[in-house]
Amino acid sequence: MVAENLAQVQKNIEESCGNVNRDPGEVTLIAVSKTKPVEMLREAYDAGARVFGENKVQEIVDKYDHMPLM
């Protein structure tokens, strides 16, 4: 489900950029990972997400060692 949602968001970004003549490569998608388990983050990573956002440093510190090198 995460992969499908991420693909839809990417599609929306591409369509929106096309509507305003903007390069989709200039847009950074930030996957909000706060309160989400590492398994969901890995699924998002496997689907192409590379930038994750947390609002507490402690949460990303706990998850960081379980994620692939980015």
Read off the pLDDT of residues 3-52 as tens digits, 9 standing for 90 and up: 999 999 999 999 999 999 999 999 999 999 888 999 999 999 999 999 99
pTM: 0.80
Q: Taking the C-alpha atoms of 50, 55, 56 and 57 in order, what is their torsion angle to the nearest 10 degrees?
A: 40
Residue 70: pLDDT band (50, 70, 90) is low
| 34 touches 54 (CB < 8 A) | yes
